[in-house]
A and B are shown apart, each in its own frame.
Chain A
Amino acid sequence: MNISSVLHILGNLLLLVAFSMIFPFLIGIYYQEFDALIFIITSGITAISGLLLKKFKYSQSDLQYKEGFMVVTLGWILVSLYGGIPFLLADIFDNPVDALFESMSGFTSTGATVIMSLESLSHTILFWRSLTHWLGGMGIIVMTIAVLPQLAGNMNLFKAEVPGPVHNRIKPRIKETAKTLWWLYIILTLLEVILLWLQNVPLFEALIHSFGTISSGGFSSRALSVKSYNSILVDFIVTIFMFLAGTNFNLIYKSLQGKLSSLFYDEEFRMYLCLLTTAILLISLNLYINNYESIIQSFRYASFQVVSISSTTGFATVDYDTWSPFCRWILLILMFIGGSSGSTAGGIKIIRIKLLFKKGLQELYRLLHPRSVKKVKINKQVVSETVSTSILGFFFLYIIVFVSVTLVLTYFGIDILSSISAVAATLGNIGPGLGIVGPLKTYLSFPESAKLLLVLCMLMGRLEIYTILVFIFMHKN
């Protein structure tokens, strides 16, 4: 294995993170906050570490898939470790586990927090917290591929960070694809910032919420999240952008090119729409019967919460933990399913659920007609046996990780619902769950070891399990 090249790329990655810390510094200067200095220090530490690692020799030809997995796993861990330093220096946490939890939650666009009072934080820290979402949402490795010429065309790195079942490219070259994705990401973010700002949301908060929406992260600058604006239009704008964040970016790009029909020919998008519509209708009806007097109010809360959970953003406009078990069960199911492939959303992903469903039907068909030959297809394309098996494997591992971590959490004395939802929310990169980790609560009460486990869950969820497991077992082999 070419460790030298791996360390060299990690050095580049840290330099990028160091560079990104300039933005919170500038925010700190603008708001004349002391925390700006913290980012000068952290940026310096990160840059020096990056430069030291960069001393190692890089050789493009030696970078195979194993090195790809190593770069991605170590890259995400390193970035989260360095990203947590400002929280420690700003004295927000007194133990590094909480800082790592917050940082990993930010970069993996999970949105789970261990901070009790957001209003007490400086603009600088709030901005950094949300910037980690934004950087991690599209993928730090994708960003590195887009920026660094020496990594151009490295599909091993791209696949390790975006390990979904399909790899549709917008452009023929991977570097161009990464660049286009980032441009699209920037445009969508700016659009949301402008729209929120036009609705009288302060510019800083519009930026924070836009970072949280497009990355499907969910970090807010207010303890009450989007609820604090109490505006139907703000809810509507955020819902639309959460929906877009959960949609395959390739499809959004094609639609912007005028190929709107591609949206409706895409099976995953159709299922995404169908799932959201069904969940919204069922929850609206249930809320209208049990909780709210007006159907419009029921629909407003149901649609925001459903899209938020399904796109794995995690914003809330209401404490859905007080809703009926029926509504919470639907939300829990959506936590597992997640958004579309090629989006910033987490979870198992709709395309995998669709494939699993089709695979199930195929087996049923085979029982009815033992001699039949039937292929599983998505968008009229045959899904190979390798991909089907990989998805079955992914599902199995997802469930195994979920069950095991839930078991450990219950050992710590956390109630079953909270344990289940905490693991679902971190493994699916959603953020808030149910029970003691409900939308208006935090993960602060969890023991340190439980938090570390959830940090691992966030990373596994973001890198879709296989990358981490390959990294672990690579050394055993």
Chain B
Amino acid sequence: MLFKTSSEKIVILGLNEISLFLAKKLSINKDIIILYENENFQDYRIEETDIITQKIDFNIYQELTKLNDRENIIFISMTTDEIFNIFAARIAAEFNFKMIISLVYTNEYSQINYDFDLIINPHQLIINYILTSIRETRLLNIKRLIPGQINISKIKVKNDDSFVNTKIKNINLKKSLILAVIRKNKIHMATPELELYPGDYIYWLYKKGISDWLRFFNPRYYKKNKIFIFGGKKLCYKLVNEIQNIFEPIVIIEPELKTCNFLASKMEKPLILHGEGTEYNLFKEEGMNDQSIFIALSHSDSQNILSSFGAENLSCKTVLTLINKYHHKKIANLLDINKTIFIPELISNFINKYFNNNIKLNKLEKDIFISKINLSQNLLILNKKIKNIGLSPGILVGVIVRNNKIIIPAGNNTLQAEDTVFVFFKKEKETEVKNKFRSNRI
């Protein structure tokens, strides 16, 4: 056809650094309309990007009714006001849009079911990125995924361990489970016949309790990298909450005394220092060295870049820098600060992956994945002992959540409808997991 337009449109509500960056990325193969209320955000890139910007009235309902062909429109609510985002997306949910996505900053708000297709929590994306960068992402993601009193640890088998040179079936695991064994960089799913040797790394899943207390006497569970976080306020608070049980010590440097007081009142473990990110002497005094990790999260790009520059000069092992303005990213790169966190980029990558149906499964190790599955009625595996459901080697049921009670199953446990199960499996077993745990066979 002569005047064919692309079939899919994206309507983004809100004009700001994030929405503009996203629009620019998506505009390559989609039509983009940005709706905005105020003209505070002025950027030369608006003119350079192939998008339509449209000023709207305060009445969002009326504006949405003006959009035609709504079943082909993806609506993304992306203003800086999360409450307005939820409100607008909720109204949009009443129309027949193809997809609804909203930006929400508060964890609690993002967990409510609004009937949106996707809720993006930028802080969570940043935290995930940081965790990936400091190489603890897998265990942390899994710990976050499995609710309640469950923990997973990666421990090294030593000569003096009681279970060394013993087959897994002969180890008294009590209420725990060995998920996988890493031997000479090769990963093996745990099987009853697998024997543990010194030098093996094992992924051990267990209920929290005494084993957690034992960690105090067993320092090998802890990482020795000191983490320094500069600024970040709420984001810093969220990040520390995620990592404080894994990394110790954590040092927070915060320029605002009020925020220092807030953080000190909320957290027990981290050392909170009142200071600027450019006080390199403070870094040295607190023991920053080549094993340290430095994360700059303040709202000021210049402070973040300068503090990261200092941390790089003190030979920090990993330096991560939050950048709020796109052109500052280039300056950071010029100063050899390469690991930058740019929120619009994280969000647009995430949305792109979502559009391409390419969001990764949670990984335990290279080829071992974890999947959370709610067991529906009429599955063939229901009401049978796990040992009798014919799971091939390479698939393990790790945790069953039944009526809010957490069970680490043995072969004799049965699966019931409405259970939530956490299945660990090798990449090549993905289809079998889908068939057994998701398909309706009757």
Interface readout for A291-333 with B: 1 if CB under 8 Å, 0 if not? 0000000000000000000000000000000000000000000
CB distance from A55 to the nearest CB of B (A): 51
A375 at the interface (CB under 8 A from B): yes
Contact A382:B282 (CB < 8 A) given known A369-B273, A372-B272: no
A259 contact set on B, CB distance < 8 A: none
Nearest neighbor of A382 in chain B, beta-carbon distance: B265
Most buried by B among A371, A373, A375: A373
A373 contact set on B, CB distance < 8 A: 254, 257, 260-261, 263-264, 272-274
Nearest neighbor of B253 in chain A, beta-carbon distance: A371
CB distance from B365 to the nearest CB of A (A): 36
Name the contact of B265 in the complex, choosing from A369, A371, A375 (C-beta under 8 A). Answer: A375
From 250 to 264 in chain B, residues with beta carbon under 8 angstroms from any chain A beta carbon are 254, 257, 260-261, 263-264
A476 at the interface (CB under 8 A from B): no
B367 at the interface (CB under 8 A from A): no
B271 contact set on A, CB distance < 8 A: 369, 372
Nearest neighbor of B259 in chain A, beta-carbon distance: A373
Interface readout for A365-398 with B: 1 if CB under 8 Å, 0 if not? 0000101111101000010000000000000000
Name the contact of A374 in the complex, choosing from B254, B272, B282 (C-beta under 8 A). Answer: B272
A372 to B261, CA, bound (A): 10
**By the criterion CB–CB under 8 Å, are B273 and A371 in contact?**
yes
Nearest neighbor of B273 in chain A, beta-carbon distance: A371
A371 contact set on B, CB distance < 8 A: 273-275, 282
CB distance from A380 to the nearest CB of B (A): 8
CB distance from A372 to the nearest CB of B (A): 6
B39 at the interface (CB under 8 A from A): no
Count B interface residues, CB 8 Å. 15
**By the criterion CB–CB under 8 Å, are B273 and A374 in contact?**
no
**By the criterion CB–CB under 8 Å, are B273 and A375 in contact?**
no
CB distance from A229 to the nearest CB of B (A): 42
**By the criterion CB–CB under 8 Å, are B286 and A369 in contact?**
yes
B268 at the interface (CB under 8 A from A): yes
Name the contact of A375 in the complex, choosing from B257, B261, B274, B282 (C-beta under 8 A). Answer: B261
**By the criterion CB–CB under 8 Å, are B265 and A372 in contact?**
no
A374 to B267, CA, bound (A): 9
CB distance from B215 to the nearest CB of A (A): 20
A374 to B262, CA, bound (A): 10
A154 to B268, CA, bound (A): 36
A372 to B253, CA, bound (A): 9
CB distance from A381 to the nearest CB of B (A): 9
A373 to B268, CA, bound (A): 11
**By the criterion CB–CB under 8 Å, are A374 and B275 in contact?**
no
B265 contact set on A, CB distance < 8 A: 375, 377, 382
B282 contact set on A, CB distance < 8 A: 371
A382 to B274, CA, bound (A): 18
CB distance from A361 to the nearest CB of B (A): 12
Nearest neighbor of A374 in chain B, beta-carbon distance: B264
A120 to B275, CA, bound (A): 73
CB distance from A210 to the nearest CB of B (A): 40
A39 to B265, CA, bound (A): 56
CB distance from A378 to the nearest CB of B (A): 12
Nearest neighbor of B260 in chain A, beta-carbon distance: A373
B264 contact set on A, CB distance < 8 A: 373-375, 382
The 8 A-B residue pairs whose C-beta atoms are closest, nearest first, are A373-B260, A382-B265, A375-B264, A371-B273, A373-B264, A373-B272, A375-B265, A371-B275
**8 new A-B pairs (CB below 8 Å) besides A373-B272, A382-B264?**
A369-B271, A371-B273, A371-B274, A371-B282, A373-B261, A374-B264, A374-B272, A382-B265
Which residues of chain A have a CB within 8 Å of any CB of chain B? 369, 371-375, 377, 382
20 chain-A/chain-B pairs, Cβ below 8 angstroms: A369-B271, A369-B273, A369-B286, A371-B274, A371-B275, A372-B271, A372-B272, A372-B273, A372-B274, A373-B260, A373-B261, A373-B263, A373-B264, A373-B272, A373-B273, A373-B274, A375-B261, A375-B264, A377-B265, A377-B268
